[in-house]
Amino acid sequence: MALLEILQYPDERLRTIAEPVAEVNDDIRKIVDDMLETMYDSKGVGLAATQVDIHLRIVVMDFSDDGSEPLVLINPSFEPLTDELTDLSEGCLSVPGFFELLDRPAQIRLTALDRDGNEYSKDLDALPAVCVQHELDHLNGKLFVDYLSRLKQERIRKKLVKNRRLATA
């Protein structure tokens, strides 16, 4: 397994729309394993392939406290199960250090393929539902900052660019 570089906003590669996975094979399983290792190393709960410059419809997640319950989503989709919205604070490994409250459907039905290519569906609510929606946004070239005002987006962009400049100085 290998750690992958996580792209950071405003990197334009984060805007790439991911392609469906044609076949779940050993190459795809290696990507999944590398993404899980990267997510755990970065202390995240979710990671989309787009964030590591792989433009395939793959997401990994783990909501357990000890990293023992990895969830693999290949070619994922979801449908809202309610009109009720939840406003949980969202952060992102590609937008480090920033958190914002966003309204998203409170309950969803997730459909995806697992690490072995088997289709499954799961009904999710609260944090898992929000996380799925957040990560699927990544696969569609969208970031949580896109839901914010232009002024907030610009402040975040400038701060991250400045932080990277200081880190490399």
**The total number of residues written for the chain in this structure:** 169
- Report the candidate in 128, 129, 120 with the shortest Cα–Cα distance to residue 84: 129
Give CA–CA dist 29/7, Å, rounded. 21
Is 134 annotated in a binding site? The answer is yes
Give CA–CA dist 67/37, Å, rounded. 10
Q: Does 135 qualify as catalytic in the annotation?
A: yes
Residue in 37, 90, 135, 154 annotated catalytic? 135
Give CA–CA dist 144/152, Å, rounded. 11
- Report the candidate in 46, 60, 47, 50 with the shortest Cα–Cα distance to residue 17: 50
Is 55 annotated in a binding site? The answer is no
Q: What residue numbers does the annotated binding site cover?
A: 92, 134, 138
Q: Enumerate the active-site residues.
A: 135
Q: What residue numbers does the annotated binding site for Fe cation cover?
A: 92, 134, 138
